[in-house]
Amino acid sequence: MSGTNHTDDRDDRDDRDDEVFGDEDWGDEEFDAGLLEEELRQAAAVLDPVPAELQQIAVDAYALHDLDARVAELTFDSLVDAIPVRGVTDVPRMLTFRAGEVTVDVEVTEDGLMGQVLPPQPARIEVLGGPRPGSPLTADDLGRFTGDVPPAGPFALRLRTGADVVVTEWLRA
């Protein structure tokens, strides 16, 4: 017999490992996949950014993922078409979209958005802002709708009026 106890050596090694790696059990219940995914996304954005052209193609493709939807064309944008008034700040952005007989007027402010579907009719409206499901809004019988959250970044609206689906062009908020 050599006089050493191999079990004691193993226990000492385990104690040292706990000091170095912490005394945590990395079971599935404690593992935060969302946090890991976010860290990986941030690393990929820094190390291998998506080219701007490819990102625009992806946004355009996503806008058309409702193949049966009619695309509502932007016919008025107050940032481009309106005459600026000297001394006036925090002016809401006014947008008008048209798809056939359907017109959508939208006012975008820092407090949210409000608008109206014309001709007046009830509609379900989603504010699209990326690959996640849009925030739902409802237009009343007069076609009016409001949203408490202002769109951030690129956004579009998807309207469902009866059997019709209308998707607006994508714009930057």
The number of C-alpha atoms within 13 Å of 168 and in the hemisphere containing its C-beta is 28
Distance CA 49, CA 44 (A): 7
Distance CA 24, CA 11 (A): 17
The number of angstroms, rounded, from the C-alpha of 22 to the middle of its chain's C-alpha atoms is 37
Cα torsion through 14, 17, 22, 27, rounded to 10: -70
Which residues contact residue 115 at a Cβ distance below 8 angstroms, ignoring those fewer than 6 apart? Answer: 104, 105, 106, 107, 144, 145, 146
Which pair of tokens denotes residue 36? 């890991």
Which pair of tokens denotes residue 113? 């958005």
| Residue 79 CB neighbours (<10 A) | 13
Integer CA distances (angstroms), 11 to 7, 14, 23, 125, in order: 6, 5, 14, 63
Distance CA 160, CA 17 (A): 59
Q: For the chain, which ranges sit under pLDDT 50? A: none
- Predicted confidence at residue 15, as pLDDT, reads 56
Show the DSSP H helices in the chain as ranges. 6-21, 33-47, 52-63, 78-81
Which pair of tokens denotes residue 83? 């005459």
Which DSSP category does 97 fall into?
E
